[in-house]
Chains A and B, each alone.
Chain A
């Protein structure tokens, strides 16, 4: 095992170009557990944890969030409410101080807390390599499977980009503990009134983050009727229909953190509440 600590992004890309099998270390919250527990013995680790170039966060109508931005930094700086809420549920203060958005994207777990909201914000992931330069990947193409990001050998996550989507957004995460818990299921919903767009994305509900497109269309239709600039008054029937559509989109499994049946159920519950909360926020 060897460890490289490049001093610049360019040097890091050079190392990855030379050794595309090298494993990238960012906040350490996933890779170090694998090493400590004897599950991973990478031959070559390239640490990008301290690269200042990846820590830039430009927060405005267009958000540019460097891969090295930590959850703590994120939740102090961005205005997208659901992303702030999601970042706040990541691990503990210690984990939020170390873990990065690039790490969440690179690890590419369906339980990654910020991933549903990046999906719901239609974020674009910018990756870079020495060979091909920068490449832009829409979030919808990012997750090829669990732990399979759309990264080619030699590529690094450079940043995530998205447009601020206004106040009508929600992130809900169900877990059996009130802090420091991996999502049994999570849901992000954005009603972008300016762009007339509804997005619903589910975490821990299948092999990747799942978009509930039929539910999105249904909600768009409801909002269209009252007007995009106005708050939505919902009937119980509409909430139930929406919840059913979202739950139907899930492809949950049974595992040690919860049953598939509970996951589908609580996704429906969260969907109904998210529709209520975002619909009311004009």
Chain B
């Protein structure tokens, strides 16, 4: 076991961990931050998306023990984020949520998208979200949520 110390959602968080633990596992089982989801653990589904030094990444592909010094923001850390707030409202209102397992990862990715571009085109939205798999909705209402959130941010 090794001691891992990370900057998560603006606070220093520390816990013992097995050195091979992914950041995803560490966030979930060590820090109790279960908003990042464990759907594939191979970087294919985006359910575990977090911001890592401001960049959208899959936390399952980050080695927790090697992440010291990075600023990590999870879906829980976006609670007061104004862009994320509009994204959350739009996802619920537009019907972009069904089972909800992919949803936190989408909220993080959509927040990243709309921070840079309030009115992405349909294809820009699709490309920006192509790393987030959803098995329930067929994405249609998630795209609609991007439009609505973008409008609400004006």
Contacts and interface: CB of A to CB of B under 8 A. Distances in A.
- Do A and B touch directly, given a CB cutoff of 8 Å in the complex? yes
Interface of A: 1-3, 5, 25, 27-29, 32-33, 35-37, 41, 45, 47, 49-50, 72, 91-95, 97-98, 179-180
A93 B125 CA distance: 12
30 contacts: A1-B18, A3-B2, A3-B19, A3-B65, A5-B65, A25-B63, A25-B66, A28-B63, A29-B43, A33-B43, A33-B61, A35-B22, A36-B22, A45-B66, A49-B66, A50-B69, A72-B55, A92-B44, A92-B132, A93-B109, A94-B43, A94-B46, A94-B56, A94-B58, A94-B109, A97-B55, A98-B55, A98-B61, A179-B130, A180-B131
Interface in B99-154: 109, 126-128, 130-132
A33 B43 CA distance: 8
B75 interface: no
Contacts of B70: 50
Interface in B39-97: 41-44, 46, 49, 52, 55-58, 60-63, 65-66, 68-70
Nearest to B24: A36
B65 to A, nearest CB: 4
Which of A1, A5, A28 has its CB near the most chain B CB atoms (within 10 A)? Answer: A28
Contacts of B58: 94-95, 98
A5 B66 CA distance: 6
Contacts of A33: 41-43, 61
Nearest to B113: A93
Contacts, number: 96
A95 B43 contact: yes
Contacts of A35: 20, 22, 63
Given A2-B19, A28-B61, A32-B22, 4 more contacts: A5-B66, A33-B61, A47-B66, A91-B131
Interface string B1-38: 01000000000000000111010000000000000000
Interface residues of B, number: 32
B56 A45 contact: no
Contacts of A3: 2, 19, 63, 65-66
Interface of B: 2, 18-20, 22, 41-44, 46, 49, 52, 55-58, 60-63, 65-66, 68-70, 109, 126-128, 130-132
List 8 tightest A-B contacts by C-beta distance, closest first: A92-B131, A47-B66, A179-B130, A3-B65, A28-B61, A36-B41, A32-B61, A97-B55
Nearest to A48: B66
Which of A49, A92, A94, A180 has its CB near the most chain B CB atoms (within 10 A)? Answer: A94
B68 to A, nearest CB: 6
A92 B130 contact: yes
Contacts of B41: 33, 36-37
Nearest to B64: A3
Contacts of B62: 28, 32, 98
A3 B20 CA distance: 8
A47 B66 CA distance: 6
A1 B49 contact: no
Contacts of B61: 27-29, 32-33, 95, 98
Which of A33, A35, A36, A95 has its CB near the most chain B CB atoms (within 10 A)? Answer: A36
B56 A32 contact: no
A41 B22 CA distance: 13
A1 B17 CA distance: 11
A28 B55 CA distance: 15
Contacts of B69: 50
Contacts of A47: 63, 66
A29 B60 CA distance: 9
Which of B2, B52, B55 has its CB near the most chain A CB atoms (within 10 A)? Answer: B55
A52 B111 CA distance: 27
Nearest to B128: A93
A179 B42 contact: no
Nearest to A44: B19
Which of B46, B52, B57, B70 has its CB near the most chain A CB atoms (within 10 A)? Answer: B57
Contacts of B22: 32, 35-36
